[in-house]
Amino acid sequence: MGPGKPPPRLAPLDKRQRDFVFKTPTKFAPVTRDQIHGANYILNQLDPHIALTSQFDPVSDDSSFCRGILLHGLAGSGKTYVARYFATVTGAHFIDAREFPREESDEQQWTRYDIKSLFALLKKYVAETKKPIILFWDQFDEFIEHAEDEPEILNQLYVELDGLEGSASGIVLIAATTKSPAEFDEQLMRPGRISIHVHFEVPTKKGRARILRFYLDQKPHEDFDAESLAELIDDDDVTPAAIKELIEFAYDKARLRSGRLAEIGKQDLVATIVEKIVGNPGAAEEEKTPQIRLRIAIHEIGHATVAYILGRTVILVGTISSNWRHGLTVYNDASDDPFSEYFISHQRIADNIAVAHGGLVANRLAGYPDETGSSSDCAKGSDTSHSLVKQLTAGQKMRENYGLLSFGAGEREKSQRLLLVMESDEAKFTKKAEALATEILEEVGKDRIVQLAEVLCREKVLLRDEIETLFQKHEIQKRLS
């Protein structure tokens, strides 16, 4: 615009509103079903409403509908993504309510006339085109908070949803919020208004792995077991958006390292996860000497070796440091039996105590004295022993004296005699597990344990396939169950 020229005059508001609905609807990137990972439970809830929207016929009473859907969950959990999928698969006209033109002087607020104008145009669009329309309303809670201070706004929304001023058939209102339905007025959430509530949970461990692989595959990357690296993403509040950002940051690291032909490598992603999820250990990490790092690696190799020999799949072992830990070993407790993911034998649980003691035993064999670094492992083993006796009725003396007595997760008064019997069984599990870990690692031998630890020191993180290859190279074999 040249100097001194006045700004272009805007078209009248009613024309801009009509053009927005009829000529320039909201643009969005399409989303297909195979792009949604770890959220089948959400799609299963939405599928019936997607089918009805796809089959919409304005002249059929059976097809006449107005849907109010509330998508609620953490920011970044995929609500907008799923709304885009809904629009993609149905082919419905898509309108973002927040883009609807309103009075310039107060564009952040709504009036009852805005609501009335919006729905009038939506109904007119459906009547003229015979197509359904999706009204997507993100950050819906912010609109409602304002509307609650201006009752006529909320009342007008109720009028439109109820169809008092003309049928709202063919309109699907998809509202997205970080708040739960219980935080909204029950009049808004009642049947006939916004009564379909879909909760977006954070992804499960398997879901995080699938999402990580999906976004990684959209970037150039080296060949490595990304699903195993997902084990480092153990924060229960990690959303799909956060996982996508991890890949973006990892790619930035790769580009800084390799330039235009960059490929995301294992260490790029490890470093990013440490920074964003695990927690960067900071200055203290720089002060670790090679001897300290080797000692940490021996400890983690002890856990991994016992787990591997006892038939577990070792998913990840690393000297990943944070402000509360110096290393990490992750293994899958399930066997090849498909039921074992849900039903694990008492013996396999008991063997987990040996895995927990593997780090302490490995350090002993390498010539290091017992130290405080193994306290959490000992506590974990003791807790497992306690659970076997208290909850799972696996104690021999308890079974002999009390049968299938279980105290579950609660606390009940116990006699002195009962406590002594329980402690006796717990001690037996703990001693047997320590002896098993010692037997296994003595058979492997100090030299091989140190050699494995030296590899871990160099790599910092070893993934499932790398661990398998390394153990096979050093002729470490699983025991037959």
Domain span at 265: 205-279
User: Which two structure tokens, joined as six digits, stand for 275?
Assistant: 């920074």
Instruction: Give the pLDDT score at 165.
Output: 65
Q: Are residues 225 and 292 in the same domain?
A: no
pLDDT band at 335; cut points 50, 70, 90: low
pLDDT tens, 4-59? Answer: 555 555 678 899 999 999 988 888 899 999 888 878 899 999 999 999 899 888 77
Length, in residues, of the chain: 481
Q: Is there a contact between 148 and 155 (Cβ–Cβ < 8 Å)?
A: no
Q: Are residues 342 and 446 in the same domain?
A: yes
What is the identity of the amino acid at 310?
L
What is the identity of the amino acid at 420?
L
Instruction: Give the pLDDT score at 38.
Output: 79
Mean pLDDT of 231-260: 88
Mean pLDDT of 102-110: 68
Q: Is pLDDT of 357 > 60?
A: yes
CATH number (domain holding residue 258): 1.10.8.60
Distance CA 347, CA 354 (A): 11
More reliable by pLDDT, 274 or 296 = 296
Residue 404 lies in a domain: yes
Distance CA 133, CA 161 (A): 14
Q: Are residues 33 and 92 in the same domain?
A: yes
CATH number (domain holding residue 340): 1.20.58.760
Residue 481 lies in a domain: no
Q: Are residues 322 and 182 in the same domain?
A: no
* Final residue before a domain boundary, out of 279, 296, 319: 279
Q: Are residues 27 and 161 in the same domain?
A: yes
Convert 19-32 to b/e letters by CB count within 10 Å (16 or more is b).
ebbeeebbeeeebe
Residue 47 lies in a domain: yes
Distance CA 430, CA 389 (A): 12
Q: Are residues 298 and 336 in the same domain?
A: yes
Q: Is pLDDT of 278 > 80?
A: no
pLDDT tens, 428-469? Answer: 999 999 999 999 999 999 999 999 999 999 998 899 999 999
Instruction: Give the pLDDT score at 64.
Output: 60
Q: Are residues 265 and 393 in the same domain?
A: no
CA of 210: how far to CAs of 221, 244, 256, 382, in Å? 16, 12, 26, 34
In percent, the amount of the chain with pLDDT more than 90 equals 60
Phi and psi at 353, nearest 5°, equal -65, -35
* Final residue before a domain boundary, out of 159, 177, 200: 200
User: Which two structure tokens, joined as six digits, stand for 199?
Assistant: 């909760």
Q: Are residues 236 and 353 in the same domain?
A: no
- Nearest by Cα to 85 from 21, 42, 146: 42
Residue 246 lies in a domain: yes
- Tell me the three-class secondary structure of the chain, residue by residue: CCCCCCCCCCCCHHHHHHHHHHCCCCCCCCCCHHHCCCCHHHHHHHHHHHHHHHCCCCCCHHHCCEEEEEEEECCCCCHHHHHHHHHHHHCCEEEEHHHCCCCHHHCCCCCHHHHHHHHHHHHHHHHHHCCCEEEEECCHHHHHHHHHHCHHHHHHHHHHHHCCCCCCCCEEEEEEECCCHHHCCHHHHCCCCCCEEEEECCCCHHHHHHHHHHHHCCCCECCCCHHHHHHHCCCCCCCHHHHHHHHHHHHHHHHHHHHHHCCECHHHHHHHHHHHHHHCCCHHHHCCCHHHHHHHHHHHHHHHHHHHHCCCEEEEEECCCCCCCCCEEEEECCCCCHHHHCCCCHHHHHHHHHHHHHHHHHHHHCCCCCCHHHHHHHHHHHHHHHHHHHCCCCCHHHHHHHCCCCCCCCCCCCCHHHHHHHHHHHHHHHHHHHHHHHHHHHHHCHHHHHHHHHHHHHHCEEEHHHHHHHHHHCCCCCCCC
Q: Is there a contact between 352 and 369 (Cβ–Cβ < 8 Å)?
A: no
pLDDT tens, 279-323? Answer: 766 666 677 788 989 999 999 999 999 999 999 999 999 888 765
Evaluated on CA atoms 271, 277, 282, 284, the torsion sign reads: negative
Q: Is there a contact between 46 and 82 (Cβ–Cβ < 8 Å)?
A: yes
Distance CA 474, CA 335 (A): 23
pLDDT band at 271; cut points 50, 70, 90: confident
Distance CA 341, CA 348 (A): 12
Instruction: Give the pLDDT score at 63.
Output: 56
Contacts of 92 (CB under 8 A, 6+ apart): 53, 86, 131, 132, 133, 134, 172
Residue 68 lies in a domain: yes
Instruction: Give the pLDDT score at 326.
Output: 81
Picking from 45-49, 232-236, 327-331, 348-352, which range would have the lowest pLDDT averaged per residue?
A: 232-236
Q: Are residues 312 and 393 in the same domain?
A: yes
Q: How many domains does the structure of the chain reveal?
A: 3
Highest mean pLDDT among 147-161, 229-243, 330-344: 147-161
Q: Are residues 214 and 194 in the same domain?
A: no
Residue 31 lies in a domain: yes
Picking from 119-133, 338-352, 426-440, which range would have the lowest pLDDT averaged per residue?
A: 338-352
Q: Are residues 164 and 292 in the same domain?
A: no
Instruction: Give the pLDDT score at 475.
Output: 95
pLDDT tens, 66-95? Answer: 689 999 999 999 999 999 999 999 999 999
More reliable by pLDDT, 340 or 201 = 201
Residue 412 lies in a domain: yes
Residue 168 lies in a domain: yes
Q: Are residues 332 and 262 in the same domain?
A: no
Instruction: Give the pLDDT score at 26.
Output: 87
CATH number (domain holding residue 118): 3.40.50.300
**What value does the mean pLDDT of the chain take?**
88
* Final residue before a domain boundary, out of 151, 181, 200: 200
Nearest-5° Cα angle at 60, 58 to 64: 60
